[in-house]
Amino acid sequence: MRQILFATDFSPCSEEARHIARDYAWQLGARIHLLHVVWPTADPTPQPRLQALAAEFGSDVPVVTAVESGIPVAERIVDYAERHAIDLIVMGTHGRGALAHAILGSVAERVVRLAPCPVLTVRAK
């Protein structure tokens, strides 16, 4: 495992997943791809928040940052994984209730179904 994709929406769920992605990358000597997907109307340039998050990984874990623009979000994550030969995707889940899940769906669930590689989902504590 050389390439790990950490997809973030900057939520508390993503924060939990960040720690796990960093630990995996450090233990395996892998590179982290830090990805944030924005709505098509948003500016797709790297945001200061993304750069600050990348700095939190420290100097012992190589980090690549990327911002993708588009919806549906899950498909943008899967497309990035395919284009960059990602070996593992790490992402948080929101743990919505059954009704909210039925209405809103789950980005993480869709990524699990479509991804070309294993996906590690992390629930917030």
12 has pLDDT over 80: yes
Q: What is the CATH number of domain 8-117?
A: 3.40.50.620
pLDDT digits (tens, 9 = 90+) for 90-114: 998 865 555 444 434 588 888 999 9
pLDDT at 88: 98
Report how far apart, in Å, the C-alpha atoms of 13 and of each of 1, 25, 41, 69, 84 are.
24, 19, 24, 21, 24
The 10s digit of each residue's pLDDT in 38-72 is: 888 777 676 788 899 999 988 889 999 999 988 88
Residue 123's pLDDT is 82
Spans of all domains in the chain: 8-117
